[in-house]
Chain A
Amino acid sequence: MKRRLGVCLTAAAVLMMICLAPVSAKPQAGQVSVPGFGKPNAKPLPNGGPTPHTPDGHPDLSGVWFPGNTGGYDLTAEDDPAQKQFDPKETPEEKPPFQPWAAAKLKGMSRVDLELLRPSVNCLPRGVPGMFITNPYPIQFVQAGTQLIQLNELNNNFRVVPIDGRPHPKNPDPAFNGDAVGHWEGDTLVIDVIAIDVSTWNNFTGWFHSDQEHVVERLSRPSKNYLIYQVTIEDPKVLTKPWVSAPRHWSLGHEPLEEYYCTNNKEEEALKALKQLSEGSDK
């Protein structure tokens, strides 16, 4: 009896040591531990040749574009530098220069409250510049003369930007994608955007903005396979000074956009349940 109990205890101890040990190979920060999964297989595209042009002589931005340098998206390579839009060591990006009240507002929010304000919780459009900065899904440009048509796979969203140099209309209505007008400066398409709906965020971590936000996007295509997106954000009510992004890389894909309708969203429900749980535990 005692011997059997001893065997059981030893087996339990061994199993406990196995179970508390990391699975398979020892995981390192940012790496998935299962051999073969998380192994980066993302390769940057070559430049692919010269920039294509439209008959009027401007660079042609048309194409399906993926964020990052690989011309695609692989879940196992999410942390691979090749799949990132920019390398912060080479082209560092400043943190948003919030005014003290804005910084305090963000700091005072719980993580769950912040998550509940995230536009994606309700499948709202990412807006501008969110459709580039917080969008891991491909976009498609169709450059048609005096219009740039942008199709976003995420939420089956689109915008049509006139690129003939016209000004903004007077007092445009707020819209998720704002009111956007474009013109060429050499080989760079400059898109000026105002009247962006205040429920959009400029990054993943809560950068909210006011109705006075003014966004200037710069798009260029230095070679066939690459699109560069750079954005300047001014917001006199939220920021202390204008913020300029790093030049962000998008790369040419060769597959069509997929349909993406947000028909099965459970995030808000789950987060609200979490909030109730945490509020209940505080009582």
Chain B
Amino acid sequence: MSLERTEEFDRGDWLEDKELSRVERGYLLTLMWLDKRLRLVDYLELLEDAYYKTNLQMPKSHTEQYNLDNKFWYWYPLYSLGSLSIIAYVLLAISGALLGFYYSPSATSAAGADATIAYNQIVFIQTDLNFGFMLRSIHRWAAQFMVAAVFLHMIRVYFTGAYKEPRELNWILGVVLILLTLLFGYSGYVLPWNQLAFWAAQIGLEMALSVPLIGEWAAQLLFGGFSPGAPTLMRMYILHVFVLPFVVTSLIAIHVGIVWMQGIAEPH
């Protein structure tokens, strides 16, 4: 009656038999150690399964079956619009994270100053910060390119009938994404808190207030009040750097994942 744990599968002898090199032995021991705790072998099995599945002979695609390759690849630029918008999105994430180090979403004025802190930070980024002018420029232009690519992507999908069965859900997801992209752009437009930003916020607020029944509630939720001010800027900031990045990134992942699963809708 010992409390010693008995090793069910004694691997010591087996390891001796293998006559492994030091590296191999170290690797194997690590693998065994991890497997005992994390059941790695199960996941290796999954990987193996995936490996064999990816190497299965896929059926002939439409373009192959009808020998449309030349015609298809001629239109390739139109078929890369989706990935172009993702590339722009990545650029936006990088430049946006860098801008976030220097920006401050405060619509209050520093003592004795005329402009707000948010605006002053933009001025600081553009005039004092090394590479700051370029950084903001990249962020702004990448946004323009992303929205343009997304619009063109949608037009391409429409005119090639790529939204048809079985891709209806992904079309709906795409429409949601385009609307969120516009909201992304709008909330970013408000952040510098210059004249255009302020009055764009004013118009957005009035639009929200014009909606019957839920108008005032929506205005409170999105703009933090009935006239643009410090709460508006703060809410747009949180929307722009906290809420939307998570939501849009995960929706993009699902969007691309579905394309991956269903395959690209090739032209007929």
Asked if A and B bind, the verdict is: no
B residues near A (Cβ < 8 Å) are none
A residues near B (Cβ < 8 Å) are none
